[in-house]
Amino acid sequence: MVRILLASVVHPTSEVERRYPDLGLGYLAATLRQEFGTEIDIRIVDKDYRQALTEYKPDLVGLRSVSQNYNEAIKIAQMAHQAQIPVLMGGIHITSLPQSLDCHMTLGCLGEGDQTIVELVRLFIDYGKLPLNDLEKIPGICLWDKDKLMFTTHRPPIANLDVIPLPARDLLPIKSHTYMFTSRGCPYRCRFCASSAYWNKLRFFSADYVVNEISTLVEDYKVKFITFYDDMFISDVGRLKKIAAGLDRSGLLRKVKFSCSCSAPNITDEVARILKEMNIVSVGMGLESGSDKTLNYLKGRAFSVQKNRYALEILKKYGIAGNASFVIGSPEETLDDIMETFRFIKESPVCLVDVYVLTPYPGTAIWDYALAQGLVANEMDWERLNVNFEVSYQKAILLSQQLRREEIINVYKKFRRQRFWRNLKNIWWHPFLIDLPKVAINTLMERIYRKLH
């Protein structure tokens, strides 16, 4: 039996990173089980990596990491390499920047890994190792051949997502509020987001598949609240209507509530009505800015402050909480532009708010800009890309050409204070109130850890 350790590389105390289990690894585990059955044994971890390597003694290690945690991924790869365990590196970072593949990693899985990992495990089962000559025949990977980074042929994305089995949630900690995906990809090309490049194109699980997964979560895992984590859950209105009808027929609407994420231009009166009918009580949107100049720079001409405001008003009309995230610190954004966003937050009916400082992630247009400015490189301290600006604001990479670091820090703190009071006021009637005790405890532990380290 081949033992496979799948590790989600996250910061050990980060509340937001550990809020939900890694469904990406759950999909891989389910696909491997479907293919190999009792030939394999799988464990999924998101902490205590050294202990897992020592006690579980895996034959193969698969890692998933975003850019800000890639330093930790390299450390885990080094531990596995010392134990002579092949390391398969996957996820959005290595897909976006394969040149950063560490020498202790056997190979990088580029893009969607469901089919790739099956072929890699089959190769290992057949040979007890991963021979270079055979690896060259597997599409969708990169690896070092001496000092040269070699790429195999491109692996096309899975055309019919319904062939993918439900994630192996028995390997994951599933709570009463959990999440699921009903699609992969995004049709937009926001400058700061690598999602569209990673997934290549937007694809959907069918309405029947989605309703079946919801039923499984409710009946088998006693879930009471489900967040649809898709980039674009509502973009196919026809499918949305079928999901709503399927939930109604099955009686599930009496048993579970939902939240989702979407893009503001897709919110219409019809869509909001359907969301209300299917018991969606909260919608999250990346509104990004209260300045049309900044918003057009970040997301393109399809977006506007007026559309953002309209989306929030429509959601409010149907009694759905409209949450939003905002980004400050674009290269040409002035303090006046930033304060337009601040005023938008104060004056709009937005419920819960998150605020970020623009960060250059590999695979994005913003990364290309930062690379041209000499601010980033293929080898660097990846913790400088931490999305949580308050954690490392003195070493974070800033892209603003208009404001000094201290000015960015001061205005960010002003936004954080506004965020705190707004969220504190609204959380008591918001459906996310059920998460508050856990979030508060984990956030406190995170802050204690930062002070001690």
**pLDDT tens for each residue of 83-124:** 999 999 999 999 999 999 999 999 999 999 999 999 999 999
What was the pLDDT predicted at 433? 75
User: What is the band of 158 on the pLDDT scale with cuts at 50, 70, 90?
Assistant: very high
Please classify residue 333 by burial: count the beta carbons closer than 10 Å to its beta carbon, then call 0-12 exposed, 13-18 middle and 19+ buried. buried
pLDDT in tens, 178-231: 999 999 998 888 999 988 778 878 999 999 999 999 999 999 999 999 999 998
> Which one-letter amino acid corresponds to residue 55?
E
Provide the strand spans (E) within 236-329: 257-262, 280-288, 321-328
Residues paired with residue 228 on neighbouring β-strands, in sequence order: 180, 260
Segment 6-21 shows an average pLDDT of: 82
The arrangement of secondary structure in 174-452, i.e. its CATH architecture, is Alpha-Beta Horseshoe (3.80)
Torsions phi, psi of 398, nearest 5?
-110, 140
What was the pLDDT predicted at 384? 95
CA distance 84 to 43: 18
Classified as helix, coil or strand, 75 is helix
Q: 3-class secondary structure for 34-71?
A: HHHHHHEEEEEECCCHHHHHHHHCCCEEEEEECHHHHH
Q: Which residue has the tokens 């001496």?
A: 146
Q: Do 2-151 and 174-452 have matching folds?
A: no
The HSE-up count of residue 182 (CA atoms within 13 Å, CB side) is 27
CA distance 203 to 189: 16
What was the pLDDT predicted at 430? 82
The answer to whether residues 73 and 87 touch, using CB atoms and an 8 Å cutoff, is: no
Q: Is the pLDDT of residue 52 over 90?
A: yes
Residues in CB range of 169: below 8 A, 6 or more apart: 21, 26, 217, 221
Residues paired with residue 87 on neighbouring β-strands, in sequence order: 61
Identify which has the larger pLDDT, 262 or 448. Answer: 262
What percentage of the chain carries pLDDT values higher than 70?
A: 95
Q: Is the pLDDT of residue 15 over 70?
A: no
User: Within its chain, how far is the Cα of 187 from the centroid?
Assistant: 16
> Which one-letter amino acid corresponds to residue 60?
L
Among 70, 53, 62, which residue's Cα sits nearest to residue 31?
62
Q: Is the pLDDT of residue 54 over 80?
A: yes
Among 323, 351, 329, which residue's Cα sits nearest to residue 341?
329
DSSP 430: S
pLDDT in tens, 302-341: 899 999 999 999 999 999 999 999 999 999 999 999 999 9
What was the pLDDT predicted at 442? 63
Q: Is the pLDDT of residue 441 over 80?
A: no
What is the CA angle 270-275-276, rounded to 5? 100
CA–CA distance from 291 to each of 185, 306, 435 (Å)?
Answer: 27, 10, 32
> Which one-letter amino acid corresponds to residue 210?
V
What was the pLDDT predicted at 148? 93
User: What is the band of 342 on the pLDDT scale with cuts at 50, 70, 90?
Assistant: very high
> Which one-letter amino acid corresponds to residue 366?
I
Fold of 2-151: Rossmann fold (3.40.50)
What was the pLDDT predicted at 448? 60
What was the pLDDT predicted at 349? 95
Torsions phi, psi of 149, nearest 5?
-80, 120
User: What is the band of 439 on the pLDDT scale with cuts at 50, 70, 90?
Assistant: low
Q: What is the pTM of this model?
A: 0.94
What was the pLDDT predicted at 437? 66
3-state percent helix, strand, coil for the chain, nearest multiple of 5: 45, 15, 35
CA distance 94 to 294: 29
Torsions phi, psi of 236, nearest 5?
-100, 95
Among 233, 238, 220, 117, which residue's Cα sits nearest to residue 180?
233
CA distance 278 to 76: 43
The answer to whether residues 135 and 152 touch, using CB atoms and an 8 Å cutoff, is: yes
* Count of other CB atoms within 10 angstroms of residue 256: 17
Give the domain ranges of the chain.
Answer: 2-151, 174-452
- Give start and end residues of each alpha helix (H) in 170-278: 195-199, 207-221, 237-250, 269-277
Classified as helix, coil or strand, 22 is coil
Q: Which residue has the tokens 């404001």?
A: 403
* Count of other CB atoms within 10 angstroms of residue 114: 20
Cα dihedral: 28, 30, 34, 39 (round 10): 80
